[in-house]
Amino acid sequence: MMRIRFGLFFVAVLAAGWLFACSSENAPSGDQAGITDSALLPDSDLRGARIYLYDKGQVTTEIRADKIIKFEKQDSTVAFRLDIDVFDSLGQVSTVVTGDSGVIREAHSQLFIYSNVVVETADSVKLETEFLFWNSATNRIQAPADVFVKVTRGQDIMTGYGLEADQKLSSIKILRPVSGTIYDTKEIDEL
């Protein structure tokens, strides 16, 4: 179920990028007046964005960003101060994703979120890192092996470098030097 929701999140962010390309002003804003090379100018620039994505009339995702810039030729949509709510079928927030910035590469179906990245699930699992990548080919969340990650589930805390996880954050693999404190060993005993 969470796999579908996070997949919907990825599709929602891609759709938002497409939406901005079609609905935003093409005129450069005041802070771009000094740029003369048109290759460096964005195709669209939207500020104070709040976008709702729907599936069959039901809100699936709310995307908020202070600023979104679209660069068609570079296949990049950049969002600043990103805050995303993903809703379940009952309309309740199931996952919250925040980060200082994000880049969507539509042609490659890739989503990168940078700096102060936090993913929180309805099951109270929290992932904190400085960089996160959504791999649509495998439907997995990834952080490279040189990026510090911290996962908190209740009182249990795991830290290390690099990460591969499913959308629910129920199956998590930390790639190198792992340390942690685990209080709830019930699940471990069942393995």
Query: Residue 134: what pLDDT?
Result: 80
Query: Residue 80: what pLDDT?
Result: 96
Identify the domain containing residue 102 by its residue range. 2-28+43-184
189 in a structural domain: no
* Neighbouring-strand partners of residue 161: 148, 176
Residue pLDDT, tens place only, 130-168: 999 987 677 688 999 999 999 999 999 999 999 999 877
190 in a structural domain: no
Strand order in the sheet with 140-153: 44-55, 58-71, 76-87, 93-105, 110-121, 125-135, 140-153, 156-165, 172-181
What's the CATH number where 100 sits? 2.60.450.10
49 in a structural domain: yes
Query: Residue 55: what pLDDT?
Result: 80
38 in a structural domain: no
Could you state, in chain order, the average pLDDT of each consecutive group of 10 residues for the chain (191 residues)?
Answer: 45 46 46 58 88 83 90 90 88 92 83 94 95 80 95 92 87 85 64 43
